[in-house]
Structure 1
Amino acid sequence: MKLNVRAELVYAFQSATQVMISIEPARSLDQTVLSERFSIADTQGLVRDFDEITGQRQVRACLEGEQTIVYEAVVDNGLRASLPSDAQEHVWNDLPSECLPFLLPSRFCPSDKFMRFAQREFADLGSGGAKVNAVLDWIHTHVDYVAGVSTAETTAERTFVDRAGVCRDFTHLGITLCRALNIPARAVSAYAWRLNPPDFHAIFEVYLNNTWWLVDPTRLAPVEGLVRIASGRDAADIAFMTTSTACECRQVSVSAEAAEDQS
């Protein structure tokens, strides 16, 4: 599917501030950036980073005053498939080494505290795909999508108690339960077609059948319209903007629309 994606960020920096910006879609085997434009008034000293394993990209800069950052692209994300229930999980010895960090607890995903619950609730379901889909069903049934319940510090443990949150909270809980089942799971930031209201979307992916599968625990956006930006252990690794000191966010607008040319 071809998608037009766009992000506009307006920030005010009181003094020279170091920033990392992650709003460009990954250049990876499952999606192709056909054209793009990155615009920022202060281009002096920009550094571009590229992760050869994930295709993830970011821009580093030192910014001061009010800055407007605009990114536009046309992306072909191919034919994204939903996770099949018969997808098989791997024993640890068969996993690529880059998957191993995504088996472990992280700041927002304390999977070691969920081992007993996850094993009791999901371990007897057979294949890894069946277990992950059962986790997604459980979250859909037991957790409400409610803005304002959580904060930037909310962990999966808190969401499990509150049974409410937004996309990052759903994602942290899904990752936590999958890792507690010994299934590698990592957080993903994405542009999302048909997400309402439009925004950067937090989802996750699991490693089964020798590949990563994107899943949306909120069920607010179809998988075929997801454009991967960044991936990591949890939300701390996939923020669209990370700054060295406090700053003021004045505007964030995001869109993802089907391109008219789908040939």
Structure 2
Amino acid sequence: MKLRVRSELVYRFDPPTDAIYQFQVAHWPGQDILEETLITTPQVTFTEDKDAEFGARTLRAHLEGEVALTYTAVVENGVLQGLPPVALQHDWNDLPAEVLAYRLPSRYCPSDQFGRFVERQFGDSTGGERVLAILEWIKDNIDYEFGVSDSETTAARTFIDRAGVCRDFTHLGITLCRASGIPARAVSAYAHLLDPPDFHAIFEVWLSNGWWLVDPTGLAPIEGLVRIACGRDAADIAFLSTQGVCEMVSQSVTVEPA
């Protein structure tokens, strides 16, 4: 599917502070960037980095005052497929070394606290069938609601509050999958048909010797996702991280067929 993505980020950095952006389309197998532009106002000299494993790209700089970044890209994201229930779960001894870290608890995903729950709730299923059962449980039990969570909310808090936004849904999904012995990691993406449009947090699971994208909110079709970055949880995929405080002036994200 060929998509045109656009994001405009206008933030005020007062006092000046170090900042890291992560909103450019990733260089990922099967995801081809056909064209892209980045405009900054005022002009900023960034240090650009590319993650060798994930193809994610970051921009670093010491910023002050109001800074506007406008990014556009045309992307062919290939043919993304939904997770089949027959996808196989692997024994840990059979996992690739680079996947092992995504079995473990992380800052926002305390999976070690949910072992008893997943066995009671999903004990009769494994692999793709269990992941789909987890997604169904989240759909039935967690409300999509703004203002319930903040940047410190963990999956354990969302499990109690039973409400949150896409990053909370993703953290809970990752947590329940890891508690089930299934490697899972967070993904940030541009998402076609997401309403309201914004950067979208989803996750992927390692089954049948590959990563499968899933959207625990059910708000965006898998075939319309464009990968930006991935990592253990939201701490690794934030579109903007700063050493000090910053203020959002405006922000917009659009995704449409190209």
Shift of 1:123: 2.9
| Alignment-derived partner of residue 111 in structure 1 | 111
RMSD, aligned CA: 1.1
Query: Aligned partners of 1:58, 1:121: CA distance in 2, in Å?
Result: 39
Aligned residue pairs, count: 258
**Secondary structure, in 3 states, of the residue corresponding to 2:124?**
helix
1:4 and 2:29 correspond: no
Deviation string, structure 1 residues 111-132 (Cα, Å, up to 9, x no partner): 0000110122113214x00010
Percent identity reads 58
| Alignment-derived partner of residue 258 in structure 1 | 257
| 1:2 and 1:74 in contact (8 A); partners too | yes
1:18 and 2:18 correspond: yes
Superposition map of 1:1-263 within 5 A: 1-126=1-126, 128-259=127-258
The TM-score, its normalising length taken from structure 2, stands at 0.97
| 1:45 and 1:62 in contact (8 A); partners too | no
| 1:42 and 1:63 in contact (8 A); partners too | no
One-letter code aligned to 2:103? L
The TM-score, its normalising length taken from structure 1, stands at 0.96
Shift of 1:44: 4.9
| 2:42 and 2:68 in contact (8 A); partners too | no
Shift of 1:89: 1.2
Query: Aligned partners of 2:210, 2:38: CA distance in 1, in Å?
Result: 30
**Secondary structure, in 3 states, of the residue corresponding to 2:93?**
helix
Query: Aligned partners of 2:48, 2:111: CA distance in 1, in Å?
Result: 33
Deviation string, structure 1 residues 72-96 (Cα, Å, up to 9, x no partner): 0001110000000000011112212
One-letter code aligned to 2:150? T
Query: Aligned partners of 2:108, 2:224: CA distance in 1, in Å?
Result: 26
One-letter code aligned to 2:100? L
Deviation string, structure 1 residues 2-24 (Cα, Å, up to 9, x no partner): 00000000011113311110000
Query: Aligned partners of 2:214, 2:35: CA distance in 1, in Å?
Result: 26
Q: What stretches of structure 1 of length at least 5 have no aligned partner?
A: none
One-letter code aligned to 1:183? I
Deviation string, structure 1 residues 14-68 (Cα, Å, up to 9, x no partner): 1331111000011111311111011213555411111121111111111111100
Query: Aligned partners of 1:41, 1:197: CA distance in 2, in Å?
Result: 26
One-letter code aligned to 2:174? I
| 1:108 and 1:234 in contact (8 A); partners too | yes
Deviation string, structure 1 residues 141-174 (Cα, Å, up to 9, x no partner): 1111111111111111111111111111100000
Query: Aligned partners of 2:232, 2:187: CA distance in 1, in Å?
Result: 9
**Secondary structure, in 3 states, of the residue corresponding to 2:185?**
strand
**Secondary structure, in 3 states, of the residue corresponding to 2:134?**
helix
Query: Aligned partners of 2:134, 2:65: CA distance in 1, in Å?
Result: 45
One-letter code aligned to 1:15? P
Query: Aligned partners of 1:45, 1:201: CA distance in 2, in Å?
Result: 27
| 1:178 and 1:184 in contact (8 A); partners too | yes
Shift of 1:224: 0.4
| 1:82 and 1:213 in contact (8 A); partners too | yes
One-letter code aligned to 2:249? R
Query: Aligned partners of 2:42, 2:61: CA distance in 1, in Å?
Result: 9
Deviation string, structure 1 residues 156-200 (Cα, Å, up to 9, x no partner): 111111111111110000000000001010011110000001000
Query: Aligned partners of 1:167, 1:156: CA distance in 2, in Å?
Result: 12
